[in-house]
Chains A and B, each alone.
Chain A
Amino acid sequence: MFVLPQHIGKVERNKTNKRREDRVHASTFMAICAVTGMDINMELLEVKGLTKRYKEFLLDDVTFSLPKGYIMGYVGQNGAGKTTTINCINQICNADGGTVYVNGRRYKENPIGYKEEIGFIGDESYFPKEMKISDVRSVQKTFYKSFQEGAFNEMVSRFQLPEKRRISEFSRGMKVKLMFAVALSRDTKLLILDEATNGLDPVIRSEVLKILQDYISDGERSILFSTHMLEDLEQIADYIVFIDQGKIIINEAKDDLLESYILIKGDKAELTPELRSRLIGIEKKEFGFEALIKSDEARYVPKGFVINNPSIDKIMIHLIRNRMEER
Chain B
Amino acid sequence: MKALKFLKVDWIRCKSQLKIMILFPVVAVVLAFRGMDNELFAITYMVFGAIVFAIQPFTMEQMSESGFINMLPGTKSDRVTGRYLFAFILILLSVLLGLGATVVYDMKHGISLEPALTVSCIFFGGAMVICSLQYILFYSLGKGKSNQMMAIIRIIPAFIMFFAGNYVLNWLKSGETAKLNWILDRTAELSALCVLVGFFVFFVGISISGRIIEHKDFA
Binding site for B on A (CB under 8 A): 87, 90-94, 111-113, 115-116, 118, 120, 122, 124-131, 135, 138-139, 142-144
Contacts and interface: CB of A to CB of B under 8 A. Distances in A.
Contacts of A94: 215-217
B74 to A, nearest CB: 6
Interface stretch (B65-73, B95-103, B162-170): B65-73
29 contacts: A87-B66, A90-B67, A90-B70, A90-B71, A91-B70, A92-B70, A92-B71, A92-B218, A93-B218, A111-B73, A111-B75, A112-B2, A113-B73, A120-B67, A120-B71, A122-B64, A124-B64, A126-B67, A126-B69, A128-B13, A128-B62, A128-B69, A130-B13, A130-B60, A139-B9, A139-B12, A142-B8, A143-B73, A143-B74
Q: Which 3 A-B pairs have the closest CB atoms?
A: A126-B67, A126-B68, A93-B217
B16 interface: yes
A249 to B, nearest CB: 25
Contacts of A128: 13, 60-62, 65, 68-69
B5 interface: yes
A90 to B, nearest CB: 6
A66 to B, nearest CB: 18
Interface residues of B, number: 26
Nearest to B76: A111
B86 to A, nearest CB: 15
A144 to B, nearest CB: 7
A130 B16 contact: yes
A110 to B, nearest CB: 10
A28 to B, nearest CB: 36
A143 B218 CA distance: 20
A139 to B, nearest CB: 6
A92 B75 contact: no
B75 to A, nearest CB: 5
Contact of B75 (A87, A112, A142, A143): A112
A142 B71 CA distance: 14
Contacts of A90: 67, 70-71
A197 B150 CA distance: 35
Given A87-B217, A128-B13, A139-B12, A122 B74 contact: no
A143 B5 contact: yes
Contact of B73 (A93, A125, A144): A144
A112 B67 contact: no
Contacts of A115: 71-74
Contacts of B60: 128, 130
A144 B13 CA distance: 18
A298 to B, nearest CB: 44
Nearest to A143: B72
A57 B2 CA distance: 35
The residue in A130, A135, A138 that gathers the most chain B C-beta atoms within 10 A of its C-beta is A130
A325 B186 CA distance: 81
A138 B5 CA distance: 11
A120 B68 CA distance: 8
Interface centre among B5, B71, B216 (most CB of A within 10 A): B71
A87 B70 CA distance: 10
In this complex, the member of B5, B72, B216 whose beta carbon has the largest number of chain A beta carbons within 10 angstroms is: B72
Nearest to B8: A142
Nearest to A116: B73
Nearest to A110: B73
Contacts of B68: 126-128
A152 to B, nearest CB: 15
A131 B70 contact: no
A57 to B, nearest CB: 13
Interface string B17-47: 0000000000000000000000000000000
Contacts of A142: 5, 8-9
Given A124-B64, A128-B69, A139-B9, 16 more contacts: A90-B70, A91-B70, A92-B218, A93-B218, A94-B215, A111-B73, A111-B75, A112-B2, A112-B75, A115-B72, A115-B73, A120-B71, A125-B64, A128-B61, A128-B65, A130-B13
B49 to A, nearest CB: 20
A135 B65 CA distance: 14
Contacts of B5: 142-143
A248 B8 CA distance: 41
Interface string B193-219: 000000000000000000000011110
Contacts of B16: 130
Interface in B66-97: 66-75
